[in-house]
Amino acid sequence: MMNRTSSARTNYYYSTRMLMRGSTGPAVRRLQNTLKTQGFFRGRINGNYDSWTEPAVMRFQRANGLVVDGIVGPNTRAVLY
């Protein structure tokens, strides 16, 4: 069981790490859900930053005037969430 401090550290980690091809886990699942809700992601939500996720991120970046590199860093995250 996580206490409040551990949970806060975990949430901070997932909200600040860079996501790119090969990334996995809950942060990627959240990304896929958000992209799907906004109409950019058409794949299966599986928590893997894969060949479906990267082009969805790139479409999102292009549509929002961001640098199109397929990587979810601080700038993409700020607009996404």
pLDDT tens, 36-72?
999 999 999 999 999 999 999 999 999 999 999 999 9
Q: Tell me the CATH class for 4-80.
A: mainly alpha
**The pTM is what?**
0.82
pLDDT at 30: 97
Task: Label residues 41-79 b or e (16+ Cβ within 10 Å = b).
Answer: beeebebbbbebbbebbbbbbeeeebeeebbbeeebbee
List the domain boundaries for the chain: 4-80
